[in-house]
Structure 1
Amino acid sequence: MARIAFVLPVRGGSGGAHSVVQEVTALRALGVEARVLVNRANAPQFAAAYDRFAWVAEGGMGVFDGPKDLALLAAEAEVVIGTTNTSVHSISEALLTMRNSAIRTGYYVQDYEPLFYAAGTSEHQLAVASFALLPNCVYFAKTSWLTGIVQAAHGLDAVRVVPSIDHGLYGPAPRSPGRRVVVAMVRPATPRRAPRRTLKLMARLAAGEFGDVEVVGFGADAEEMEQAGLVTPEGVRMLGRLRQQDVAALMRAADVFLDLSDYQAFGRTAAEAMACGCVALAPRLGGAPDFIADGVSGFLVDTTDADAVAAALRSILSLSESELRAMRYAGLEAVAGFTPVRAAMSEMRALGLA
């Protein structure tokens, strides 16, 4: 039986963490002894975020306090996989304490993290360095954009694996024609997610510039908005932070999902919205072109071009009910293959385990 450990030092709730948890669940169902290793500071929040997965509380989550602790947990695995640049550094430090270890390594590149930081900062240097730390490492990523940027920036071949969506949560439901609902995610703490740009467009929508629509936002509570100096536009219903189950329910009741991020390495929320039968407008830059055919299964746009965004939104909202239904069906079909089992199998093949 293969033994795989994903090192995931986060609190959970992010798209990358969702991917790993879904895929570990699928790996375990396939008979693989898969675990997630979380640093102690984040372990309580991680366990709470994923309490619906029984394996998290039943030994599937290992907790470590530093390189020595991590080394002890890693020694039980056949393959240890980094999921963030900081986790790769932690694995590297742990390996130094494990002389003559035969453990293999992998790097699940969920985003190109050097883009998160200003060039020349220590954080940027650490993110870049993470691509040269692990011996005989297998690099893999979910999109052609990510595999391309890893090759261009580091000369490394990354295997493209299948993305995963939890189709047990994200799925369509019957809906009746009526006032259209437009949903957007606002994340003040993440500048590349363009919260101000998103709120500006939501204000225009709520003011009636694009017709009579209901506008709903989620992703930040009132305190986060206030701390970032952001104001919820009049006429916008802001739901705050939502659990996955609540996001799925919201998308099933919506007609349009807007992602005005600068780029998306994958575009998880857009893909999940599509799985719920919601039409997505997503950034052209990044991974979304892998699963969105512009004007067919959704819309792709240069999100920095306000006129282009407005034109695409008008195109969506001008669709007849039959045209909207056809686009919904195309979107559902485009992401139907993003199952955790297919994702898990593709990762096992990338790692030479299947």
Structure 2
Amino acid sequence: MARISFVLPVGGGGGGAHSVVQEVNAMRDLGIEARVLVNRRNAEGFRHTYDRFPWVETGGMEAFDGPKDLAHLAAQEDVLVATTNTSAHTIAEVARLGRAPAYRAAYYVQDYEPLFYAAGSAEHALAIASYAVLPECTYFAKTRWLTGMVEAAHGHATHLVVPSIDHGIYRPARRPAGALRQVTAMVRPATPRRAPRRTLRILERLASGEFGPVAVTAFGCTAEELREAGLTLPEGVTLMGRLRQLEVAELLRATDVFLDLSDYQGFGRTAAEAMACGAIVLAPGLGGATDFISDGVSGFLANTTDEAAVARAIRRMLSLSDAELRSVRLAALEAVSGFTPVRAAVSELRAFGLG
């Protein structure tokens, strides 16, 4: 029986961690001995975030204290998967501790992390180096934009795998007739590439009635986090705070229009999840969302760094007739319907040469 471990040094809650957990869950259902290895500092938060998966408490999640501890956990694995640039370096350190490891190294590229850091910084250098520290590594990513970035910047052939959405919670729901259209956006003050200031400016314009009567909701941070970042919640915008995955799904099922105004998206998970809930989405034209959004057909794309272009797209979306909205909504549901954890798991197993 194949044994696969994903090294995931985070407390969970983000899109990348969601991908790993639901794909590990699918692999386990397929009879694979798959598990998640979390650094001990984040282990308790991880258990709390994913307590709805029984295997998290029964051996499917293990905590490690450093490379030596990880080497012990990895001794019997067939594949050891990095999921972040830091975990790639940790796996490389494991290999340096002893003889050539029996496992195959893989790198799940969930975003192009060198873009997270200032050029010339130590963090940027480590992110760049993560693509050179794992010999004979299997690289895989879930969008053509990401596979293209790795191949162009580092010369590594990179497998395109299927993205996954938990359709058990991200699903459409009947909306009340005659209600105001609900516009929702995620605001992340601590993540500049998610454009929190731009997002709040656009939400302020929406709440003011500039685009017509709508109800406006934001989530992803607390009011205190906004204040600490020097940001102000616009009048008329409801802030839901930090939400767990089931709570995000509930909000998206009540959403008519979802806005992701990030500079770019390696994948665009929340937009895809919103589409699975029946929402009409606006996503960045730069990045992975172009794999599943055809502009004006299954959703909308814009140069999100240009607020005038964003405003034009929003006017276009909110001017759609009921028949046009239904057409886009159905196309959106169809576009992401194949993003299942089982299909994602199978595509990864094939990338590893195990299927």
TM-score range, shorter chain: over 0.9
1:66 paired with 2:66, answer: yes
The separation in 1 between residues aligned to 2:306 and 2:226, in whole angstroms, is 24
For 1:249, give the aligned amino acid.
E
Using the TM superposition, give the Cα deviation of residue 177 of structure 1 relative to its aligned residue in structure 2, in angstroms: 3.4
Superposition TM-score, scaled by structure 2 size: 0.99
Aligned to 1:33: 33
The separation in 2 between residues aligned to 1:25 and 1:144, in whole angstroms, is 25
Residue-by-residue CA offset, 1:126-167 (whole Å, 9 max, x unaligned): 000000111210000000000000011001110000000000
Aligned to 2:140: 140
Using the TM superposition, give the Cα deviation of residue 76 of structure 1 relative to its aligned residue in structure 2, in angstroms: 2.3
Partner of 2:5, secondary structure, is: strand
Aligned to 1:4: 4
Aligned to 1:332: 333
- When structure 1 is superposed on structure 2, of 91-100 and 274-283 the one drifting more is 91-100
Aligned to 2:153: 153
The separation in 2 between residues aligned to 1:226 and 1:49, in whole angstroms, is 25
Partner of 2:41, secondary structure, is: coil
Are 1:71 and 1:98, in contact at CA under 8 Å, matched by a contact in 2? no
Are 1:274 and 1:331, in contact at CA under 8 Å, matched by a contact in 2? yes
Are 2:77 and 2:102, in contact at CA under 8 Å, matched by a contact in 1? no
Residue-by-residue CA offset, 1:259-294 (whole Å, 9 max, x unaligned): 000000000000000000001100000000000000
Are 1:291 and 1:335, in contact at CA under 8 Å, matched by a contact in 2? yes
The separation in 2 between residues aligned to 1:300 and 1:152, in whole angstroms, is 24
Partner of 1:41, secondary structure, is: helix
The separation in 2 between residues aligned to 1:312 and 1:323, in whole angstroms, is 15
The separation in 2 between residues aligned to 1:294 and 1:73, in whole angstroms, is 46
The separation in 2 between residues aligned to 1:244 and 1:140, in whole angstroms, is 25
Superposition TM-score, scaled by structure 1 size: 0.99
- When structure 1 is superposed on structure 2, of 266-275 and 321-330 the one drifting more is 321-330
Using the TM superposition, give the Cα deviation of residue 51 of structure 1 relative to its aligned residue in structure 2, in angstroms: 0.4
Are 2:76 and 2:103, in contact at CA under 8 Å, matched by a contact in 1? no
Aligned to 1:216: 217
Aligned to 2:17: 17
The separation in 2 between residues aligned to 1:312 and 1:186, in whole angstroms, is 19
The separation in 1 between residues aligned to 2:46 and 2:57, in whole angstroms, is 11
Aligned residue pairs, count: 354
Using the TM superposition, give the Cα deviation of residue 97 of structure 1 relative to its aligned residue in structure 2, in angstroms: 1.5
Are 2:75 and 2:102, in contact at CA under 8 Å, matched by a contact in 1? no
Alignment map for 1:85-164 (pairs within 5 Å): 85-164=85-164
Alignment map for 1:132-281 (pairs within 5 Å): 132-178=132-178, 179-281=180-282
The separation in 2 between residues aligned to 1:156 and 1:293, in whole angstroms, is 28
Using the TM superposition, give the Cα deviation of residue 174 of structure 1 relative to its aligned residue in structure 2, in angstroms: 1.3
Residue-by-residue CA offset, 1:79-133 (whole Å, 9 max, x unaligned): 0000000000000101112313221100000000000111111100000000011
The separation in 1 between residues aligned to 2:137 and 2:327, in whole angstroms, is 43
For 1:31, give the aligned amino acid.
G
- Structure 2 gap ranges (5+): none
Aligned to 2:51: 51
Q: RMSD in angstroms over aligned alpha carbons?
A: 0.7
- Structure 1 gap ranges (5+): none
Using the TM superposition, give the Cα deviation of residue 322 of structure 1 relative to its aligned residue in structure 2, in angstroms: 1.5
The separation in 1 between residues aligned to 2:57 and 2:102, in whole angstroms, is 29
For 2:169, give the aligned amino acid.
L
